[in-house]
Structure formats: structure tokens, C-alpha cells
Structure 1
């Protein structure tokens, strides 16, 4: 493990708490500082832009990333009815179309790269050194995905959108004698993968 992605929807404590339901922003910021100190590289911050919650914070988040040498992943809120609530109310209330923001970034960028191996994501490098990768829902989203994700509770997921298919690896990781148990769990999670979009 030499790189990490961290979800950070806000640098404002009250907004952070509203989004995540916890007052842990200071802990997350300390953790990011420590991750940088111990040499994780790259460190990417996942910023899901949400109307009425954090849509006015993009410039502050860009500045924070430049100051710390982080890459910003600007993510459009995805409709994930299979796993979150099921009725789409949160999506309807908070979805923010990134197209106008992407157009603005495009006009400001010194360099634009398209990551063909990653759903044709666009990566903008701004004059201040900011690197911003944009992620919007598309039919290509699942195509070629090889990622596994670990939640803070120790659950391992083969798909960001299928929390129902997660398996807990915490005990297997803590018990150094059970490498085969860990490998078996990873294999089960990989085998359970299926396209969401």
C-alpha cells in the first residue's frame, strides 16, 4: 500500500458533520497530514460536489490540495438506488451537474489529460499546480474497474455501489496466522463483482 484515496466532502466542520454524520473532520485532516509525512503518494481527495451542501467549497478544496500536494477527484453525485435508501430522494435534492464546472476547469487548465483506462476521466492541471480529476456517472464507469475498497469498519468491497456484497477482513488482517483466510475473503469479493451501470 503506497497510495490512498480519502473522502473529504468539506473543510467546514458543520458541513462535514452534516454529510458524514460525525464530527471527525479534525481527525481526518490529522490523518491526511500523517499520511503525507509517512510517504503515501499520491494522496487523492474524493470531493463529491453536492448542491446546497458543499458546492461553494470547490476553490477552497483546490487550494487545500495545492498546499498539501494532493490530487483532487471532483466527483458528480451518482444515483445509487441499489444500496442507498432506494428512493433517490438524496440524489434528487443534492445532485449537481458537473458539466458547467468541467467547462470552467477546461478553460483555466494549462494541461488536460484523458485517462482512457479509467472511464475516460478528464484530468486538468491548473496554473497554480492543482491537479483535478473529474468523475461523472457514465456507461463506462464499471468497464475495466479493478478496484477493491475497504471501509472504516473493515468491510472489503469489490464495488463502490454494492455494499451488500462486502466481506469483513478486519479479523483476518489482525490475526497474522490467517493469511489464507484473508486471501479467501479477497477472492470471494472479487468473484462477487458484477457491473452496476
Structure 2
């Protein structure tokens, strides 16, 4: 590998240690989910604008040299990349990287689960906002629920160390299914994560506010049905606070991005599909990391610059700052979440 084994403690000015990087390997997606992309779609980056497999692997080697131990591949839809196995295999060969995970919409998972596991993928996050086929088509604007459920089944059969289901909770869309997702944990060894909808790439704040719905109501549902639950600790770097209903095989978690509840312990950096480093999901600030990949000294300096400017929290959807920073213009599919 030729690394120097520097193993730095990557800390920002607030003392938060960073050992986790999310890399969007494409902005392309075969869905148009209502919270991620406009119905008409977007102008995708050209193939030349997207990080190549060799650039991604070399970047991960640099990150590992600086103390990063966990990599998550996101999109867009990462399984649309024809070289996805090459990317995972290359990252898996880096001794310092202890965990490789991937976020997917699950449409191609039934066909690829076995190959992904053999390539070295450890964990999966699968987007699933509803169990109703017609509602799934509406939310994703054309997706097939049957294919996603088949993908989840295939992933479970392969024995990935952890499978998480990402459920973005939306008023008037899927709030009536929260009980169904909680019930799903009784017989399925998954972590169902209820996520607040975020105003990312959203010009019309009133539209976001209409869709926003607090997720604490899952506790009311548990109490209503007499389900006792307790907080549990799960492996990984997810921002969710996790719980398990008594007698359930799986678990559920709550993710509160809008209310900043995980900012104090945020340990992640993000690389966009076109190679820019973002220290915070919400704000415009970013550094061109792609131009430094060929020189570790420049790469290291860019990472340290990003950490030095990382805010204490994103203060998403708040207007209490005297001088409001510039909100990101990127859509979620370009950042990778």
C-alpha cells in the first residue's frame, strides 16, 4: 500500500474525532424520489466530471493514511456504476479500512447482493419509505416495491453484518405506516430508521414545511399498542438513536437532522460525486478535493482546512443567526446524504 501509517486523530475545532467518510460515487439515479430530486429530473454530471474508480480508491488510501477507518459509498444510486465491484474490492484491500458500507435504493440488489458481499462490502442501507406498491410508485415516481423487497431478502440471505432500512417520514405520504414499520422489526433482523425530511436543495420552504412531520410519534405508537421498548447500542457510525421493542428481532432508530440532535457528535466528512469535500451537509462551503488526489500533502491540507471550518451544527431550518451562511445549492443526490 505504501502508506505512512500516520493514523492521525482527525479532530475539528470542537474536538469531534472524524473516522468516517461518505463518498458519493455518482449523482445518477433510476428513481426521482420526491425529497431528493425534482420530478423532471436534473442535468447529471458528465462522465468526465465523476470521480473514476482509481481516484476513489486512491482517495480512500489517503483517508486511511489520516486515520479514517470507515467508508460509505452513496449516490445517486451507487449500483448504477458498472465498476462498483472494482471500487469495493480496491477499498477492501486497504488494511486500515475496517468497514465498508453502501446506501442503495435496492432496485438492483437482488442481482448484486452476492457479488457485493464477495467484493468486501460489510453493511447496507436500503431506502424504503412505504410497504404500499402504489404509494411507493408515487414517492419514487416510478419505482418497483417488489424489486426492493426482493433485494432486501437477497441481502439478508447473504448475511451482511448489518442491514438498515431508511424511512423518510412525510406528512400526508407515509405517516400512517409507522406502525407497519415498527411491526416489521418483530420478524426481520434489520434496523428501521425513521428520518426527518430535510430542506436540502429546496427553494420553496413552505413546501418543505408542509411535508415535515416530527418522528417522536413512534413512541406514542409503541405505547398505544403496549409495546415496551428500550434504548440499544448498535455498531456503526449512524446518527440514529436506536431502540428495540421487547420480543422483536430487529430494532428501530430515530434520526433528527432538522433539530440538530446529532451535530454535537458528528464524525463524518462527505465527498460529492464530482469530488468536492463538504464538512457539513447543509451549508454551501466545499473544497475541491479531486485536484489534490495526486499529492498527499495537498490532500491532507485540504482535509485539515475543511475540519478547521466545520461548523458546530448546521442549524437547519432555523433563522436565528445574525449572519446566515449560504445554504447548499446541491440536491441530495449530488451530495450523497
Deviation at 1:96, TM superposition (A): 1.8
Whether the aligned pair in 2 keeps the contact of 1:118 and 1:145 (CA below 8 Å) is no
Instruction: Provide the residue aligned with 2:231 in structure 1.
Output: 113
Alignment length, in residue pairs?
181
Give the root-mean-square deviation of aligned CA atoms: 3.9
Whether the aligned pair in 2 keeps the contact of 1:167 and 1:185 (CA below 8 Å) is no
Whether the aligned pair in 1 keeps the contact of 2:125 and 2:163 (CA below 8 Å) is yes
Distance 1:23-1:100 versus aligned 2 partners, 3 A rule: closer
Whether the aligned pair in 2 keeps the contact of 1:154 and 1:168 (CA below 8 Å) is no
TM-score, normalised to structure 1, is 0.67
The alignment partner of 1:46 has SS state of strand
Whether the aligned pair in 2 keeps the contact of 1:49 and 1:75 (CA below 8 Å) is yes
- Give 1 or 2 for the bigger CA radius of gyration: 2
Deviation at 1:109, TM superposition (A): 4.3
Which runs of no fewer than 5 residues in structure 1 stay unpaired? 170-179
Distance 1:28 1:187 in 2: 41
TM-score, normalised to structure 2, is 0.43
Match of 2:204 among 67, 79, 87: 87
Distance 2:204 2:250 in 1: 36
Distance 1:60-1:101 versus aligned 2 partners, 3 A rule: closer
Distance 1:125-1:146 versus aligned 2 partners, 3 A rule: same
Distance 1:150-1:12 versus aligned 2 partners, 3 A rule: farther
Instruction: Provide the residue aligned with 1:25 in structure 2.
Output: 145
Deviation at 1:142, TM superposition (A): 1.9
Instruction: Provide the residue aligned with 1:103 in structure 2.
Output: 220
Q: Return 86-95 or 48-57, whichever deviates more.
A: 86-95
Whether the aligned pair in 2 keeps the contact of 1:4 and 1:40 (CA below 8 Å) is yes
Whether the aligned pair in 2 keeps the contact of 1:157 and 1:189 (CA below 8 Å) is no
The reply to whether residue 49 of structure 1 matches residue 166 of structure 2 is: no
Whether the aligned pair in 2 keeps the contact of 1:148 and 1:159 (CA below 8 Å) is yes
Match of 1:134 among 254, 258, 263: 254
Whether the aligned pair in 1 keeps the contact of 2:289 and 2:302 (CA below 8 Å) is no
Deviation at 1:33, TM superposition (A): 1.9
Distance 1:118 1:104 in 2: 23
Deviation at 1:59, TM superposition (A): 2.5
Deviation at 1:106, TM superposition (A): 5.5
Distance 2:241 2:280 in 1: 18
The reply to whether residue 40 of structure 1 matches residue 157 of structure 2 is: no
The reply to whether residue 9 of structure 1 matches residue 9 of structure 2 is: no
Distance 2:157 2:263 in 1: 33
Deviation at 1:67, TM superposition (A): 3.0
Instruction: Provide the residue aligned with 1:70 in structure 2.
Output: 190
Deviation at 1:188, TM superposition (A): 6.1
Distance 1:120 1:68 in 2: 19
Whether the aligned pair in 2 keeps the contact of 1:66 and 1:130 (CA below 8 Å) is yes
